[in-house]
Amino acid sequence: MKYNLADFIRLKKNLKPNSETMILSGSMTPWIKTNEVINLSPCLREDLKPFDIIVFWSPESEILICHIYIEFRDGKIITKSLTRNVEDPPLDPQFLLGRVNRPRFTWLHKMILKFFY
């Protein structure tokens, strides 16, 4: 679903803890599959830890994207999908929607991801 900037701002303002949304692509396969419902909550950039799963708005494509948070570098959020081992374009923190609560990586998943990423 496409969201213009005004739609995204409204969505972010009204996001409640434990909100549900559906994943529309396979970029997080096999962990999160297409059409799977995830649970997310608002969060601040400062609350993120490497390998948290986040949802953000892409101004280029005007869609919500669910990817892995890697780090905060040069004032931007760095993310990756599970299916491609390349970083996404740096993201302005204002476009962060929230952190995924369910499903969530365990410490073992995060250790495995650190090895591959």
| CATH number of the structural domain 5-116 | 2.10.109.10
DSSP letter at 114 equals: H
Q: Residue 56's CB: how many other CB atoms inside 10 A? A: 23
Specify the pTM.
Answer: 0.87
Ordered by start, the domain boundaries in the chain are 5-116
Q: List the pLDDT tens digit at each of the 117 positions of the chain.
A: 899 999 999 999 999 999 999 988 888 888 788 999 999 999 999 999 999 999 999 999 999 999 999 999 999 999 999 888 899 999 999 999 999 998 777 777 777 777 766
Q: What is the pLDDT of residue 7?
A: 96
Which residues, 6 or more positions from 36, have their beta carbon under 8 angstroms from its beta carbon? 22, 23
